[in-house]
Amino acid sequence: MLRIPIFKLGQAVEDTVPPVLVSYVPSLSLQGLQVGVDNLRHDVHLSPKFVEQARRHITRLLIRHGDLEGALAAVEPEKTRNHFIQSKANVKSQAEPADLKTLFTELHVAVLNRAKAEENPALDLLGRAAIIKFLRVEFNSQFAQVLERCRMAVKSYEGFRHQKAYEYRERVAALQVGKKTILRKTGEEIFRTLRDAEKDTVARTRRSLFGSGGEEPYKLFLNPLIFTEDGTDAHLNAEHFVMLGNFESDPDRFANIRKLACEFLESMKLPDAPSDFDGWFNEPENAQALVGAGMPDDSTPESRSQKSRLANWVSLLERERVMEHVVASYEVVPLLAEYSPRINPAQLKHALTSREERSRVEKLIAEHGKLTPASLQAAIDRVASYRAAERAKIASRFLRDFFRYHRARRQLEALNGALDSIQLVTNEKTQQLSAMNGTLYEFLLKEEQTSGGDKILEHVIIKADVRDSSRLTRSLLDRDMNPASYFSLNFYDPVNKLLAKYGASKVFLEGDAIILALLERAGEPGMGVGRAAVLAREIVEIVRGYNQLLQRSGLPSLELGIGISYQDSPPMYLMDGEERIMISDALNESDRLSSCSKRLRKAIEGSLTPFHVYVFQTISDAEMENSPEDFILKYNVNGIRMSEAAFHKLQQEISLEPCTLNVPAAKGEEQYRAWSGLVSIGNDIFRKIVVRASRVPLVDARNFSLQRWTDHWYYEVCTDPAIYAQLEGRAAAGK
């Protein structure tokens, strides 16, 4: 028989070969994904069909493991969305494990396909994590509903069938006492189903779409501890790892064993050792490198080194009186199926090493007529008969199993951290708000998916601002006229009639301004800026027509300034009760584009020019780079100014042909370019637009005399009828 000498901790043999250890730190990163409406977590909405079927399946498992199939047959379940408890006959008709596996597979594959379509593997991790979070929540939620159904069954018998009511009360009490066991068994079945779906289909699909790289995060979803609260379930640990102690007085509790393992590694004084050894503990193969398989020999320097280290490890466990608990951890496993849950697993384990605890367990066995102490006694005898070689082998196994368990605990912590950053959106209002803001990640089954035509990709904002509205209002009041009806009849009502024609929507209405939005959705032609330009031009033309009628009646006319801003992303929204409030940089930009400086208006009014938009710079280029808007004077009276981004988008939407305009300039030799193009507004209807781009002049602020031309440009959608008449005349002459 091989005898393992007990060395003092840290003692080494000749020709010691240092072990080669590797490190592993579990992580699950969802960086790069948009946060939801709370600006903290990622909003996720799971397939309604999956949610419905998974809830039913969880309920069926809870009823089965709680031994409640017949107990609930007396009371019909309430017809509510979240109640899925059925009578025994109906429970059999619910989804079987194979059906749930198919459901898991279909949803996981749908998540993978979306991740592939967007070329973002993080979406797959988000979907996987969201499914785990949903299942965790539903375990407790559905258990509470099962418990409530049982209480309803008890009430249905009270008052006329006392014996039956008593039996049901006993079942309710047993259900509450056995909650942890029932949830564990349910979680184990769900985990096996998830694991089978991953092994059979999901993993291969993922590798076919994204290759074999990046597999590390997916190990977190194959952890048997994922459906436990803190990873300390005795049954799961005994089955998959090693059953450590959970009480403060237990010498083999996790924290104490980790402390001993740190002391063991520190004693070797290994080079490049980390400060806390956490990464080394997460790699089970390190146990093999350290102490071998528990059967050391002297054949090689490496095996002699492992033999020495194993002796030190055994010595450490013996010194701290942990070794007997280690042996009991493995010998108690076969007893759990026979004695648990009637006897607590930790109590059974202590009975193998403690005479006092053994007496208590034997009394509990005697109280249950169906249990016998034979298996317990046999395990006690085995624990007492362990010899040195067997203890060394079990110590080697224990180190490896502890490393496996350590890794599983750290993987669970990493997964929990990711789950905390996910919000499962179930509230319809929150879901709508998140979807409007483009922050909702929906993971739907194939048959639930749409073409994506409702997804907003870009948007255009139009602001039409009435010039000198305060002066106009006072003028109307002086004539005993109603300014509200004046603006409504001559401005707001005519504009409202145009919205449906151009697919525009009203964002905001002020006393002297109206803000409109044109949203570009997936699958649409993408003519937002072109339609906005034609709409803005038509607004100016309509107001011009109304002004002619107002002047004939001796009433003051309306003057507008319109700004068009484009943003290549969807707008954001917040909810004020039932009202949606848009948030977008384009709103602020359109306000600046539609504005008009009073000083510049006085200087330009009366100039014979068909252009209605001008921009002047009054300081140096260097100062403009720092804060350009503070030193810019803008003129916009009955004109349409568009942003540079909107102009470039218009160039992508339609063919803009350069054209020459014979028109006078407002100040000096103006440097500008002009283009014309046709915009389709549907039903074979086309409208011409002319866009002018002019360089911003640097002028003397005192008299607006031209100093030089800058490198900055501004853009106008021309509104003067003379420009369009000139182009039409040329076209007719060319024919």
pLDDT tens digit sequence for 192-234: 999 999 999 999 999 888 888 889 999 999 999 999 988 999 9
Mean of all residue pLDDT scores within the chain: 86
pLDDT at 74: 47
What the block records as the tokens of 615 is 């921009």
Q: Which range, of 341-345, 430-434, 622-626, 688-692, averages the lowest pLDDT?
A: 622-626
User: What span, in angstroms and rounded, lies between the C-alpha atoms of 519 and 505?
Assistant: 8
Query: Running DSSP on this structure, what letter comes out for residue 212?
Result: S
Q: Is 417 helix (H, G, I), strand (E, B) or coil?
A: helix
Instruction: Judge whether 238 and 336 are in contact, CB under 8 Å.
Output: yes
pLDDT-derived band of residue 28, with 50, 70 and 90 as boundaries? very high
Query: Running DSSP on this structure, what letter comes out for residue 314?
Result: H
Helix (H) / strand (E) element for 589: namely helix 585-594
**Beta strand pairing call for 422-424 and 42-46:** parallel
Residues 6 or more apart whose Cβ sits within 8 Å of residue 315: 6, 7, 8, 9
Q: Is the pLDDT assigned to residue 16 strictly greater than 80?
A: no
> Where in the sequence of the chain do the CATH 3.30.70.1230 domains occur?
456-734
Q: Is the pLDDT assigned to residue 510 strictly greater than 80?
A: no
Q: Is the peptide bond before 556 cis (omega within 30 degrees of 0)?
A: no
Q: Which residue has the higher pLDDT, 99 or 314?
A: 314
Residues, the chain? 735
Q: Is the pLDDT assigned to residue 290 strictly greater than 80?
A: yes
Q: What are phi and psi of 582, to 5 degrees?
A: -80, 140
pLDDT-derived band of residue 622, with 50, 70 and 90 as boundaries? very low
C-alpha dist (Å) from residue 197 to 97, 190, 205, 221, 446: 11, 11, 11, 12, 17
State the sign of the Cα–Cα–Cα–Cα dihedral 220, 225, 231, 237.
negative
Q: How far is CA 624 from the centre of its chain?
A: 41
Instruction: Judge whether 282 and 406 are in contact, CB under 8 Å.
Output: yes
Residue range 392-438, pLDDT digits in tens: 999 999 999 999 999 999 999 999 999 999 999 998 888 988 888 88
pLDDT at 159: 63
Instruction: Judge whether 268 and 368 are in contact, CB under 8 Å.
Output: no
Q: What is the mean pLDDT of residues 267-292?
A: 92
pLDDT-derived band of residue 718, with 50, 70 and 90 as boundaries? very high
What the block records as the tokens of 567 is 């943003």
Q: Is 123 exposed, middle or buried (0-12, 13-18, 19+ CB in 10 A)?
A: buried
Q: What are phi and psi of 381, to 5 degrees?
A: -65, -40
Give which of 8, 19, 14 is closest to 311, Cα–Cα: 8
pLDDT-derived band of residue 567, with 50, 70 and 90 as boundaries? very high
Q: Which range, of 114-123, 422-431, 548-557, 560-569, averages the lowest pLDDT?
A: 548-557
Q: Which residue has the higher pLDDT, 651 or 668?
A: 651
Q: Is the pLDDT assigned to residue 635 strictly greater than 80?
A: yes
Q: Is the pLDDT assigned to residue 348 strictly greater than 50?
A: yes
Q: Tell me what percent of the residues of the chain surpass a pLDDT of 70.
A: 90
Domain 456-734 listed as CATH 3.30.70.1230: yes
pLDDT at 667: 52
Instruction: Judge whether 298 and 307 are in contact, CB under 8 Å.
Output: yes
C-alpha dist (Å) from residue 461 to 345, 531, 642: 67, 11, 10
Q: Could you write out the three-class secondary structure of 623-685?
A: HHHHCHHHHEEEEECCEEEECHHHHHHHHHHCCCEECCCCCCCCCCCCCEEEEEEEEECCCCC
Q: What is the mean pLDDT of residues 283-311?
A: 91
Q: Is the pLDDT assigned to residue 613 strictly greater than 80?
A: yes
Enumerate the β-bridge partners of residue 614.
635
Q: Which range, of 419-428, 537-546, 573-582, 662-671, averages the lowest pLDDT?
A: 662-671
Name the residue type at position 47. Answer: S
User: What span, in angstroms and rounded, lies between the C-alpha atoms of 238 and 231?
Assistant: 12
Q: What is the mean pLDDT of residues 533-552?
A: 89
Q: Tell me what percent of the residues of the chain surpass a pLDDT of 90.
A: 54
User: What span, in angstroms and rounded, lies between the C-alpha atoms of 690 and 725?
Assistant: 11
Q: How far is CA 292 from the centre of its chain?
A: 44
User: What span, in angstroms and rounded, lies between the C-alpha atoms of 621 and 644?
Assistant: 18
Q: What is the mean pLDDT of residues 282-307?
A: 90
pLDDT at 606: 63
Report DSSP letters for 428-481, one per residue. Answer: HHHHHHHHHTT-EEEE--GGG---STT-EEEEEEEEEEETTHHHHHHHHHHTT-
User: What span, in angstroms and rounded, lies between the C-alpha atoms of 707 and 697?
Assistant: 7
pLDDT-derived band of residue 665, with 50, 70 and 90 as boundaries? low
Count of Cβ atoms closer than 10 Å to residue 483 Cβ: 16
pLDDT-derived band of residue 151, with 50, 70 and 90 as boundaries? confident
Q: Is the pLDDT assigned to residue 680 strictly greater than 50?
A: yes
Instruction: Judge whether 207 and 113 are in contact, CB under 8 Å.
Output: no
**Beta strand pairing call for 42-46 and 440-443:** parallel
Q: What is the mean pLDDT of residues 71-89?
A: 44
Residues 6 or more apart whose Cβ sits within 8 Å of residue 354: none
Q: Is the pLDDT assigned to residue 668 strictly greater than 80?
A: no
Q: How far is CA 277 from the centre of its chain?
A: 32
What the block records as the tokens of 653 is 């939407």
Q: Is the pLDDT assigned to residue 2 strictly greater than 50?
A: no
Helix (H) / strand (E) element for 211: namely none
User: What span, in angstroms and rounded, lies between the C-alpha atoms of 174 and 178?
Assistant: 6
State the sign of the Cα–Cα–Cα–Cα dihedral 638, 644, 645, 649.
positive
User: What span, in angstroms and rounded, lies between the C-alpha atoms of 709 and 89?
Assistant: 86
pLDDT at 250: 93
Q: What is the mean pLDDT of residues 509-538?
A: 88
